[in-house]
Amino acid sequence: MISSLDEDSLLKTGTWVFLRGTKQTDTGYLVWTSYDQKTIKRDQETPVIILDQKSGKYYVSSSIPRYKDNCIKIAGDITAQETTAEMAKMIGSNKAYNTIDAAYRAYIKVLNASK
């Protein structure tokens, strides 16, 4: 899959995870951060971009990485059974962006503010 991505794809950088609930009808969520998995700190709030597969909208939020399956994972605190409800909470009242470009610009502002 990675080899089929465009050269400038965000998925070739940082850390990402795709989450979906246990029901076939559950929507999927792609969660991405610019932090490399090797440098993410466990239990430290990390800015993320979330793509809601159902709506096609992007959201800027934060996730608390957890140690799971022998590595640190973003959104590691969300189980498959809780995906839909937990992701709805993460998205919450956050602004929806129609494009990845707009969401990325907002993400960079949050990232710079957290430094």
pLDDT tens-digit readout, 30-44: 888 887 777 777 777
What pLDDT sits at residue 1? 46
Confidence class for position 62, pLDDT limits 50, 70, 90: confident
What pLDDT sits at residue 76? 54
> Lowest mean pLDDT: which of 29-33, 64-68, 102-106, 108-112?
64-68
CA distance 8 to 28: 23
Amino acid 27 reads: T
CA distance 80 to 39: 25
Which stretches does DSSP call E strand in the chain?
15-20, 28-33, 46-52, 57-63, 66-68, 71-73, 96-97
What pLDDT sits at residue 97? 96
The three-class DSSP label of residue 88 is helix
State the greatest distance between any 2 C-alpha atoms of the chain, in Å, as a whole number: 40
What pLDDT sits at residue 23? 74
Query: Is residue 61 within 8 Å of residue 93, measured between CB atoms?
Result: no
CA distance 41 to 63: 11
